[in-house]
A and B are shown apart, each in its own frame.
Chain A
């Protein structure tokens, strides 16, 4: 089965750093993805991890620990436009299907 947990809501201040955690239990796991979704729009890819460790892409970084079933997304130098839902998704099986967590609604305040 698949189970993914992430916080429902987070609030942070413009210019700050925020970390969004995700825990997962996934059979046939082959990777962990982070997507950003603004209201009424499609999810857009941010980052993914296959192996343990940190992946850095500009202001966004993602970390994975396969043994702990744990990942986080780190957003630096927050901007107002970063206010969105952040979806953690595990990839599994030969078809690489994604199972999404419920999403973390991030609000960036001035």
Chain B
């Protein structure tokens, strides 16, 4: 099983809503990542979790709140978003260890903020 799943596939939310994005993998990977991708741009790293602990926060606004409840799950809680936050949100996972380690990406959640 080399699959990373993400739900929902599409999400439309207002600026006052609270919603959550979910990501799951069963590959035994202990590193998980959130990326944001705008149209015709490359993915940009938001957060990195290593062994369920937040190791990197790339200066992401506090209206985005990540959570890693266990080694298979990664959530991204959204609150008071802005229209410019509309994007494709990608989750990825990888093994941990030495050397370069391949990241497996989920299909993404396409978020529209109205």
Chain A residues near B (Cβ < 8 Å): 30-33, 35, 41-45, 48-50, 87, 89, 91, 94-103
Say yes or no: A41 contacts B99, CB within 8 Å.
no
Contact partners of B99 in chain A: CB under 8 A: 30-31, 50
Say yes or no: B42 contacts A103, CB within 8 Å.
yes
Interface residue total, chain B, C-beta cutoff 8 A: 24
Of B48, B100, B102, the contact of A95 (CB 8 Å cutoff): B48
Say yes or no: A101 contacts B42, CB within 8 Å.
yes
B64 at the interface (CB under 8 A from A): no
Name the CB-closest residue of A to B44. Answer: A100
List the one stretch of B11-19, B67-75, B79-87, B103-111 in contact with chain A: B103-111
Given contacts A43-B43, A96-B94, is CB(A50)–CB(B100) below 8 Å?
Answer: yes
Say yes or no: A97 contacts B48, CB within 8 Å.
yes
Chain B residues near A (Cβ < 8 Å): 31, 33, 41-45, 48, 50, 55-56, 90, 94, 96, 99-108
Say yes or no: A100 contacts B43, CB within 8 Å.
yes
Contact partners of B102 in chain A: CB under 8 A: 33, 45, 48
Between A and B, 28 residue pairs with Cβ closer than 8 Å are A30-B99, A30-B100, A31-B99, A33-B100, A33-B102, A33-B103, A35-B105, A42-B90, A42-B106, A43-B43, A45-B103, A45-B104, A48-B102, A87-B43, A89-B42, A95-B31, A95-B48, A95-B55, A96-B31, A96-B94, A96-B96, A97-B45, A97-B48, A97-B56, A98-B43, A98-B103, A99-B45, A102-B42
